Amino acid sequence: MHISEPPQLRPEIELLLLLADLDIDESRIAACRTRLADQGRKLDWGFFVDQAARQRLLPLIARNIIHHGLHRTSQGPSMIPYHWLYIFAYQGNKSRNISLADEFGKVLSALNTSGLRYAIRKGPVLGERIYRDIGLRPISDLDVMVEKSDTAAVGAVLCDLGYIQGKLALDGERIESFSRGTKTFWRLSMPVELPYQKICGRDGIETYVVDICTNIFQTRPGGAQFTNGLLERRIQGPLCGEQGFTLAPEDEFLDLCANLHMEATALYYVTEGGDLDVLKFLDIALGCRRISEANTWPAVRQRAKDLGVVESVYYAIHHSALLYPDAVPAAELSALRPEDCGYLDEYGAIEGKPQRWSRPFLQRLFDPRRKDEVKASSPIPRH
């Protein structure tokens, strides 16, 4: 039985969700102003900022607060203290992402020159093509999908650019190699390569990070068999100042859904608190809106069935609809709904250690201590 949702959230969370969208219309701005007038002095603003950061929404919320002047009031002091914090959060993230795009553009240029088949996933693609403002969405790395047989060649391209397959040392001045045990486990068991990193030397960025993935459908047995077909359907367009290759639109959406499902339920992420954040569900909601505008839901449904990832797609859009009900068409929720939805409250199945949550999704989403409920541990070594 699927766990029912709680009836009410803290007022700080309600305000956060009002601001956690790409386009904020006048009615939502009015609702924010009403909440600030009625509750502004009582709100726990430290909790608000903490949650905005935990949910990876701080730059987006900051832009919405400043752009719509929610920090201003006609009488008396602002209901939002330290409004300069939000200015710095947005501008700092924008500056950081511009620096990352400059570096990642060099990686794309080198990959294009090499002639290797690749597709860039998630971060920069979403930032440039979906959010349409490089300052709104935090970007941490460059995700590159290739076939397993090409991983060494891509690694060689990265090494020529100064990247090392390793982790940042504690002194922050060098990249050190992973342990032999970690390398062995990753080589034998994981569908992604250990990350490649390069010291940056710029404020706000310690290292540039590139991840290589050979299977984007980790929740589906045999998902790697589809990588070649996905690369055959890839498209080319502007990205990071270069002409980069990305997944076809339908495949890009399925990738987001499958990645969300994997991270939300894998013990590797759950035990570290990296399983859930609102930004992941906003990514899905924005993808749903784009699909609705293009009227391509039939193609997405068929592609999900062909690739055997219907459960992952439903997991993603079901939970996204709890936060962004206007973005997910009810007809699509019904059309993609599996017969058995018990998996919606499970985690650990991907590691063969299925467990069930005792609390509903929205309670867990905003509780940083949810990992304390987890009894099992991940077999994957932390790198």
222 with 353: CB under 8 angstroms?
A: no
> What pLDDT, in 10s, does the model give residues 31-71?
999 999 888 889 999 999 999 999 999 999 999 999 999 98
Return the H-helix or E-strand segment holding 291. Answer: helix 278-294
DSSP H/E element including 58: helix 58-67
Q: What is the share, in percent, of the chain residues with pLDDT greater than 70?
A: 96
Of all residues in the chain, the percent with pLDDT exceeding 90 is: 77
pLDDT given at position 2: 55
Yes or no: say if 58 and 89 are a contact pair by the CB < 8 Å rule: yes
pLDDT exceeds 70 at position 284: yes
Domain range annotation of the chain: 1-81, 96-247, 248-383
Predicted confidence (pLDDT) per residue in 194-224, tens digit: 999 999 877 789 999 999 999 999 888 888 8
- Type of residue found at 116: L
Q: What mean pLDDT do residues 96-125 have?
A: 96
**Predicted confidence (pLDDT) per residue in 339-356, tens digit:** 999 999 999 998 888 999
How many CB atoms neighbour CB 301 within 10 A?
Answer: 16
Residues 279, 324 contacting (CB under 8 angstroms): no
Domain 96-247 has CATH 3.30.460: yes
Half-sphere exposure of 295 (CA within 13 A, CB side): 0
- What integer pLDDT is reported at residue 262 of this predicted model? 95
Measured distance CA(112)–CA(127) in Å, rounded:
21
Cα distance between residue 201 and residue 36, in whole Å: 41
Q: List Cβ neighbours of 340 (8 Å cut-off, separation of 6 or more).
A: none
Average pLDDT of the chain is: 92
CA gap 209, 192 in Å, rounded = 14
User: Which segments within the chain are labelled E, that is strand?
Assistant: 119-121, 142-145, 164-168, 175-177, 196-202, 205-213, 235-239, 242-246, 346-347, 355-356
Q: What is the pLDDT of residues 151-193, one digit of tens each?
A: 999 999 999 999 999 999 888 889 998 888 887 777 766 777 8
Question: What would you measure as the largest C-alpha separation in the chain, in angstroms?
Answer: 65
The conformation of residue 227, written as its DSSP 8-state character, comes to H
What single DSSP character describes residue 165? E
Q: Tell me which of 178-182, 248-252, 276-280, 358-362 is least confident.
A: 178-182
